[in-house]
Chain A
Amino acid sequence: MHDNALGEDEITAGRGRNGEIQNLEGYVGFANLPNQVYRKSVKRGFEFTLMVVGESGLGKSTLINSLFLTDLYSKDYPGPSLRIKKTVQVEQSKVLVKEGGVQLTLTIVDTPGFGDAVDNSNCWQPVINYIDSKCEDFLNAESRVNRRLMPDNRVHCCLYFIAPSGHGLKPLDIEFMKRLHDKVNVIPLIAKADTLTPEECQLFKKQIMKEIQEHKIQIYEFPDTEDDEDSKLIRKIKERMPLAVVGSNVVIEVNGKKVRGRQYPWGVAEVENGEHCDFTVLRNMLIRTHMQDLKDVTNNVHYENYRSRKLAAVTCNGGVDTSKTKNQMTRSPLAQMEEERREHVMKMKKMETEMEQVFEMKVKEKKQKLKDSEAELERRHEQMKKNLEAQYKELEEKKRHHDEEKSNWEAQQRILEQQKLDASKTMEKNKKKGKIF
């Protein structure tokens, strides 16, 4: 880390945000980056979407008007409790406010009819649908090929109004918060807190927080800071949760001071008095210190959850194999398809090799069979040939034998003939000699 201290020399000149010459030495200038960011953000303007949910008559409209010091809800634009609906609607009104050179496009989303019916089952569904549809819009806009500056209409914060019964949360309260805590930043508020004494309020708050923890509801949490002072502040806020609020835009004079409050025969409940209610805490937290963080958490946590759920559904096509899905999450759907393609190619190659092997084997078999058959036929042929040859030999032998016999006999015959001849000759001789007759 290179820590450049601000020196005292006057040679190097740099210009600050407003153009004044600052006396610096070794000044590089990127310390001015925050100013650049400031400048650009002011030029761009800001946007914020706040959702208000609660039964009618809990002072939601008054509170919004008090928070923003304006008649957001007026005769011309009545609040949700005055717009009686048969079913729960989700409606939005957009206003543009400007202060100190900073422009804010504020969208207030309210839910007339919420919790007012006899049967309130699923009255949270339109709310969930609304939040999801805004996330969907953002997702589609973000995923376009041609992207333009995307307006952020996602719900950044949901103020949930709890009726000041003093006892605990109603089943509807619990059900609603359980279903929405992982989709949006939920900030529970105790409405019309001027009907509770401080002690009752304390007990009520304790009870509510206990039930929230029991049901594992995750309400909006303030981020940790390294700054000690900020940490102290945050801890103080956390102790006062859920915030008990009172709203009013009527200005009353109290002890010479003009304050906003509610006039009762017994006194004035001051809206901005920290001992009377937590309105100031809410306003400071919601608008003055944590508005940006609410947007960041919506973007980095709630929206990202929505997005990964949506994309996982598209990629995995419904099939859930947990060992595979874990790996898939770290890729984009396209990379996932690439991976599947590679896997498929490998599988095909393997299949090809296998088929090849089987083919070769079968061919070998057949060839072998042919060979065997050939060998067998040859053998038989050989044998027959040998057989024939043997017969031939036998025949030859017989013939030779016969020839021999024949020549012997013929020789014998010739001898006999000769003898006969000799005998007859001798006889002839003797006859001639007159011996015989």
Chain B
Amino acid sequence: YNGTCLAKKGEGARAVPLAGHVGFDSMPDQLVNKSVNHGFCFNILCVGETGLGKSTLMDTLFNTKFEGEPTQHNQPGVQLKSNTYELQESNVRLKLTVVNTVGFGDQINKEDSYKSIVEFIDTQFEAYLQEELKIKRTLHSYHDTRIHACLYFIAPTGHSLKSLDLVTMKKLDSKVNIIPIIAKSDAISKSELTKFKIKITSELVSNGVQIYQFPTDDETVAEINSTMNGHLPFAVVGSTEEVKIGNKMVKARQYPWGTVQVENENHCDFVKLREMLIRVNMEDLREQTHTRHYELYRRCKLEEMGFKDTDPDCKPFSLQETYEAKRNEFMGDLQKKEEEMRQMFVQRVKEKEAELKEAEKELHEKFDRLKKLHQDEKKKLEDKKKSLDDELNGFKQKKTAAELLQSQAQQAGGSTTLKRDKERKK
């Protein structure tokens, strides 16, 4: 048979006709086979107050009993608990991670409740980004933990959204695909439900909350997706217990006034949720997470770190240039720090030296003073010595003179009178 041509101008590719069956129409199958062999992975985050049936819904959706005890209401803060399960259906293997918000809505002050959720989502983005930036990386076998869908559980009050809901969803809508659902909707009557859904939708719109829209660009699924978009938020009921209806066992909740059948589309939107979340749009949810939410995170992170795509002259940077520029900046920064430290030390040394010099000077002055004191004392001593010597000399002279006289007197013998006279005269 003949292949057809497609004109796609501007791509530089000319369309050529095929003279027979070449066989590349098996490409999608080749791709699918590769994916099936590799296995799939999907991560769901359930946000909602304690007791809204999050775990039960997960069990019902995936037809299995996931682990876990029902949580108490006394959690001090919001924690995120994640569990990973390996499921298989026909030949398709799915690594499913369910993340639950434990303690959401239980605190008296809920201002920071959304923070741990945002942090958790960002952490998964960061892990992927780090892997992507590694020099030797293994993206092919990387276990993707980024959240692909966030089921937001709305309490079935029948009136409107709680302010906690609006605040939280507003913080999350640029980070994850949000699918709002009305939990435990078997407590609401059909007429109340319609009003409730309208109220919720209008509140979301008026607050600018961007919830996930099922894609309508692919003709194959455009119709069903756009219909389902109109049924949001889905009012769900979960149950893993089976009740006999007619001659079959169905998943249901039994009340005295009747039985709510989970998979009955008249009773609740469970089937719609399953259809949209799993059967039709699971791959799109993964794609949106990667190409929109993750790219936004990555872009912000890189810009924060100072990366740009073009230099001031609007010429595009090559990766090498960017890294080199970063590296130069970084090295310069380190060198500057080193220099600063050195300078500081030089300063200190100078100051200390001056101090010590001052001390030395003082010491010298002190000793100069002492020296002078000493000199003075010495002089005094000298003076004293001198005066003593003078006295000694004087005394000696006197003594000598007196002795001379005495000897003379003795020599003169009898002329004591003369002596006496002399003495008197003396």
Query: Which A residues are closer than 8 A to B by beta carbons?
Result: 1-4, 6, 9, 11-15, 26-34, 36-43, 46, 48, 67-72, 94-105, 136, 139-140, 143-147, 249, 283-284, 287-293, 296, 300, 304, 307-308, 310-312, 314-315, 317, 328-337, 340-341, 344, 348, 351-352, 355, 359, 363, 366-367, 370, 373-374, 377, 381, 384-385, 388, 391-392, 395, 398-399, 402, 405-406, 409, 413, 416, 420, 423-424, 427
Which residues of the partner chain B approach A329 to less than 8 Å between Cβ atoms? 134-136
Q: Within the complex, which residue of A36, A69, A388, A424 is in contact with B416, where a contact is CB–CB below 8 Å?
A: A424
Q: Within the complex, which residue of A3, A307, A416 is in contact with B88, where a contact is CB–CB below 8 Å?
A: A3
Which residues of the partner chain A approach B283 to less than 8 Å between Cβ atoms? 33, 36-37, 40
B19 CB to nearest A CB, Å: 4
- Known A143-B322, A352-B341, A402-B392; further 11 A-B contacts with Cβ < 8 A: A28-B63, A32-B280, A69-B22, A140-B316, A145-B307, A283-B23, A291-B27, A314-B319, A332-B130, A359-B348, A373-B363
Residues A33 and B23 in contact, CB atoms below 8 Å apart = no
B275 within 8 Å of A (CB atoms) = yes
A55 CB to nearest B CB, Å: 26
Q: How far is the CA of A119 from the CA of B279 in the complex (A)?
A: 62
B376 CB to nearest A CB, Å: 11
Q: Within the complex, which residue of A29, A359, A381 is in contact with B274, where a contact is CB–CB below 8 Å?
A: A29
Residues B89 and A4 in contact, CB atoms below 8 Å apart = yes
Residues A95 and B388 in contact, CB atoms below 8 Å apart = no
Residues A314 and B88 in contact, CB atoms below 8 Å apart = no
B319 CB to nearest A CB, Å: 4
B208 within 8 Å of A (CB atoms) = no
Closest to B137 in A: A304
Residues B319 and A374 in contact, CB atoms below 8 Å apart = no
Residues A388 and B378 in contact, CB atoms below 8 Å apart = yes
Residues B63 and A26 in contact, CB atoms below 8 Å apart = yes
Residues B263 and A12 in contact, CB atoms below 8 Å apart = yes
Q: Within the complex, which residue of A96, A304, A333 is in contact with B15, where a contact is CB–CB below 8 Å?
A: A96
Closest to B374 in A: A384
Residues B327 and A314 in contact, CB atoms below 8 Å apart = yes
Which residues of the partner chain A approach B206 to less than 8 Å between Cβ atoms? none
Contact with A along B305-323 (1 / 0, CB 8 A): 1011100000010111011
Residues B23 and A38 in contact, CB atoms below 8 Å apart = no
Q: List 15 A-B contacts (CB under 8 A).
A: A9-B248, A28-B63, A30-B40, A31-B92, A34-B35, A43-B217, A68-B18, A68-B22, A136-B318, A143-B319, A337-B326, A341-B330, A381-B371, A405-B395, A420-B420
Residues A296 and B274 in contact, CB atoms below 8 Å apart = no
Which residues of the partner chain B approach A287 to less than 8 Å between Cβ atoms? 22-24, 26
What 6 A-B pairs come out closest when comparing CB atoms?
A332-B133, A100-B25, A29-B279, A36-B283, A292-B30, A94-B13
A123 CB to nearest B CB, Å: 27
Which residues of the partner chain A approach B250 to less than 8 Å between Cβ atoms? 11
Residues A284 and B23 in contact, CB atoms below 8 Å apart = yes
Which residues of the partner chain A approach B81 to less than 8 Å between Cβ atoms? none
Which residues of the partner chain B approach A1 to less than 8 Å between Cβ atoms? 86-88
Chain B's interface size range is: 35 or more
**Which candidate, B1-9, B45-53, B111-119, is the interface stretch facing chain A?**
B1-9
Residues B349 and A335 in contact, CB atoms below 8 Å apart = no
How many inter-chain contacts with C-beta < 8 Å in the A-B complex? 312
Which residues of the partner chain A approach B42 to less than 8 Å between Cβ atoms? 30
Q: How far is the CA of A351 from the CA of B340 in the complex (A)?
A: 13
**Which candidate, B68-76, B101-109, B164-172, B352-360, is the interface stretch facing chain A?**
B352-360
Residues A293 and B30 in contact, CB atoms below 8 Å apart = yes
Residues A40 and B287 in contact, CB atoms below 8 Å apart = yes
Most buried by B among A29, A36, A98, A340: A36
Q: How far is the CA of A71 from the CA of B14 in the complex (A)?
A: 12
Residues B338 and A348 in contact, CB atoms below 8 Å apart = yes
Most buried by A among B18, B134, B406: B134
Which residues of the partner chain A approach B218 to less than 8 Å between Cβ atoms? 39-40, 43
Given contact pairs A4-B89, A292-B31, A370-B359, A70 touches B19 in the complex (Cβ within 8 A):
yes
Residues A46 and B381 in contact, CB atoms below 8 Å apart = no
Q: How far is the CA of A11 from the CA of B250 in the complex (A)?
A: 8
Closest to A336 in B: B135
Q: Which B residues, 357 to 404, have Cβ-Cβ distances below 8 Å to chain A? A: 359-360, 363, 367, 370-371, 374, 377-378, 381, 384-385, 388, 391-392, 395, 399, 402
Query: Which B residues are closer than 8 A to A by beta carbons?
Result: 3-6, 8, 11-36, 40, 42, 61-64, 85-92, 94, 130, 132-137, 140, 217-218, 220-221, 248, 250, 263, 271, 274-275, 278-284, 287, 295, 298-299, 302-303, 305, 307-309, 316, 318-320, 322-324, 326-327, 330, 334, 337-338, 341, 345, 348-349, 352, 356, 359-360, 363, 367, 370-371, 374, 377-378, 381, 384-385, 388, 391-392, 395, 399, 402, 406, 416, 420, 423
Q: How far is the CA of A42 from the CA of B91 in the complex (A)?
A: 22
Closest to A413 in B: B402
Closest to A333 in B: B323
A21 CB to nearest B CB, Å: 12
Closest to A284 in B: B23
Q: How far is the CA of A333 from the CA of B302 in the complex (A)?
A: 13
Given contact pairs A31-B90, A139-B319, A314-B323, A4 touches B63 in the complex (Cβ within 8 A):
yes
Closest to A143 in B: B319
B53 CB to nearest A CB, Å: 18
Residues A28 and B4 in contact, CB atoms below 8 Å apart = no
Residues B275 and A15 in contact, CB atoms below 8 Å apart = yes
Residues B31 and A308 in contact, CB atoms below 8 Å apart = no
Residues B309 and A37 in contact, CB atoms below 8 Å apart = no
Which residues of the partner chain B approach A366 to less than 8 Å between Cβ atoms? 356
Residues B423 and A420 in contact, CB atoms below 8 Å apart = yes
Residues A328 and B318 in contact, CB atoms below 8 Å apart = no
Residues A367 and B279 in contact, CB atoms below 8 Å apart = no
B384 CB to nearest A CB, Å: 6
Q: Within the complex, which residue of B280, B320, B402 is in contact with A310, where a contact is CB–CB below 8 Å?
A: B320
Given contact pairs A29-B278, A145-B308, A289 touches B30 in the complex (Cβ within 8 A):
yes
B196 CB to nearest A CB, Å: 26
Which residues of the partner chain B approach A288 to less than 8 Å between Cβ atoms? 23-24, 26
Q: Within the complex, which residue of B28, B40, B327, B341 is in contact with A33, where a contact is CB–CB below 8 Å?
A: B40
B85 CB to nearest A CB, Å: 8
Residues B89 and A31 in contact, CB atoms below 8 Å apart = yes
Q: Within the complex, which residue of B327, B337, B381, B391 is in contact with A348, where a contact is CB–CB below 8 Å?
A: B337
Which residues of the partner chain A approach B136 to less than 8 Å between Cβ atoms? 304, 308, 329-330
Which residues of the partner chain B approach A424 to less than 8 Å between Cβ atoms? 416, 420
Residues B88 and A34 in contact, CB atoms below 8 Å apart = no
A366 CB to nearest B CB, Å: 5
Residues B31 and A399 in contact, CB atoms below 8 Å apart = no
Q: How far is the CA of A421 from the CA of B205 in the complex (A)?
A: 149
Which residues of the partner chain A approach B5 to less than 8 Å between Cβ atoms? 96, 98
Which residues of the partner chain B approach A147 to less than 8 Å between Cβ atoms? 295, 298
Which residues of the partner chain B approach A420 to less than 8 Å between Cβ atoms? 420, 423
Closest to B424 in A: A424
Q: Within the complex, which residue of A11, A98, A315 is in contact with B135, where a contact is CB–CB below 8 Å?
A: A315
Residues A11 and B327 in contact, CB atoms below 8 Å apart = no
Residues A377 and B220 in contact, CB atoms below 8 Å apart = no
Which residues of the partner chain B approach A27 to less than 8 Å between Cβ atoms? 89
Residues A37 and B35 in contact, CB atoms below 8 Å apart = yes
Residues A30 and B92 in contact, CB atoms below 8 Å apart = yes
B228 CB to nearest A CB, Å: 12
Q: How far is the CA of A328 from the CA of B64 in the complex (A)?
A: 44
A376 CB to nearest B CB, Å: 10
Q: How far is the CA of A38 from the CA of B30 in the complex (A)?
A: 9
